[in-house]
A and B are shown apart, each in its own frame.
Chain A
Amino acid sequence: MKTENQKAWFFVLPVLVLVAFNALIPMMTVVNYSVQETFGDNVFFWQGLDWFEQILRSDRFHAALGRQFLFTFLILIIEVPLGIIIALSMPRKGFWVPVCLVTMALPMLIPWNVVGAMWNIFTLPDIGLLGYFLNHVLGITYDMTQNPLAAWVTIVTMDVWHWTSLVVLLSYAGLVSIPDAYYQAAKIDGASNWAVFRFIQLPKMKTVLTIAILLRFMDSFNIYTEPFVLTGGGPGNSTTLLSIDLVKIALGQFDLGPAAAMSLIYFAITLLVSWLFYTLMTKDDLN
């Protein structure tokens, strides 16, 4: 039997050090904060697991968590099918390929806070292009600064505009990797468009789609900047997603202990959902 060379592990070291400093050590500090109370000046008092109990039973946390799941669910249910449809209708070769790809990539190149500011100005009812058009030309009452439903429609639309491209580009990469022979075989068998999609394109896109859905889940579950700039969590608390609430507790109220406990619960949820999804999607590949 050939002995495996384990030296390659040393090449992982730099990444390990990097992750230690930008993730692991801050994370350990958060764990330490979560069992203590502080009034500043780096003085801490032992608090035990009270913060966890308090957060887990607080209606405010339940409400923010509910809004967060609703938001993530809505954007996934829109972005994934929409992304696949767009990827399927994009040309596979010729002049229009780069045009489509660059157009698709454009929204993703814009920084989060700029996206939030753009959509804010775009949708303001009296001066925004969309807001003015809806209110004063079409006569639809639409005010995302006053009406929770309008605010939700706006943040969901903004996220769809910003991130559907990611699903599109990944699906497209999956699609172009399918050899022509598959399509020819399908044609010979007289397969319908749906059958081609269901038995050739979808299975071939499975890996990239898994990654796309995972990335969109994690990103949307942790989303902060865009809704913060667009609605600031309002009107009222209607668009206060988990991360916005977390920052309010941590920096607005300076309750570092409860905020730390909340972020650990938040982390546990993200971790479990991502792990479950990834494990279930790749289960058949490994066996």
Chain B
Amino acid sequence: MLSWMAWTWPTALVFIGIFSAIGVLVLLEIRTPGGDARKGVLGLTTTRGDRLFITLLGTSYIFLAWLGLVGMPLWWPLGLSLVWGCFTFWKV
């Protein structure tokens, strides 16, 4: 039934990761409603959801920039993305 979607394990894991992150956000939202809104270092008022979005968008750009400018392997952009994610959830 799903063969037309041409699934692969790596891409499936990416989506499982994103959807579980959203799931965690839902759980957090049920426990502490309000989205934990705050004003971060960039001067933006962000909620947890915004911070996840900024993390994911930034990550895709880090990987694309690395692929375009440097190429394989991708350990460095992975590290950079993790740092970016931590920074976003901590400060932005």
User: Inside 8 A of B74's CB, which chain A residues have their CB?
Assistant: 49
Does B43 count as interface, using CB distance less than 8 angstroms? yes
- Asked if residues B10 and A286 are in contact (CB atoms below 8 Å), the reply is no
State the Cβ distance, A181 to closest chain B Cβ, in Å. Answer: 31
Instruction: Please count the residue pairs between chain A and chain B whose beta carbons lie under 8 angstroms apart in the complex.
Output: 60
Does A195 count as interface, using CB distance less than 8 angstroms? no
- Asked if residues A268 and B64 are in contact (CB atoms below 8 Å), the reply is yes
State the Cβ distance, B65 to closest chain A Cβ, in Å. Answer: 9
- Asked if residues A31 and B61 are in contact (CB atoms below 8 Å), the reply is no
**Given A268-B61, A283-B43, A286-B45, are A53 and B67 also a contact pair (CB < 8 Å)?**
yes
User: Inside 8 A of A265's CB, which chain B residues have their CB?
Assistant: 64
State the Cβ distance, B54 to closest chain A Cβ, in Å. Answer: 9
A46–B71 Cα gap in the complex (Å)? 18
- Asked if residues B67 and A36 are in contact (CB atoms below 8 Å), the reply is no
A279–B92 Cα gap in the complex (Å)? 13
Give the secondary structure class of A's interface: helix
Does B72 count as interface, using CB distance less than 8 angstroms? yes
Number of interface residues of A (CB under 8 A): 27
A29–B14 Cα gap in the complex (Å)? 13
Does B3 count as interface, using CB distance less than 8 angstroms? yes
Does B91 count as interface, using CB distance less than 8 angstroms? no
CB-nearest residue of chain B relative to A4?
B33
CB-nearest residue of chain A relative to B71?
A53
Mark A residues whose CB is within 8 Å of B.
4, 25, 28-29, 31-33, 35-36, 38, 42, 44, 46, 49, 52-53, 56-57, 265, 268, 271-272, 275, 279, 283, 286-287
- A sample of 16 inter-chain contacts (CB < 8 A) reads A25-B5, A28-B15, A29-B4, A31-B11, A31-B14, A31-B15, A32-B8, A35-B8, A36-B8, A49-B67, A52-B64, A53-B71, A265-B64, A272-B57, A275-B53, A283-B44
Given A268-B61, A275-B57, 4 extra CB contacts under 8 A:
A25-B5, A28-B11, A29-B6, A49-B74
Leading 10 A-B pairs by shortest Cβ distance: A56-B68, A32-B6, A29-B5, A44-B6, A286-B45, A32-B11, A52-B67, A53-B67, A31-B11, A268-B60
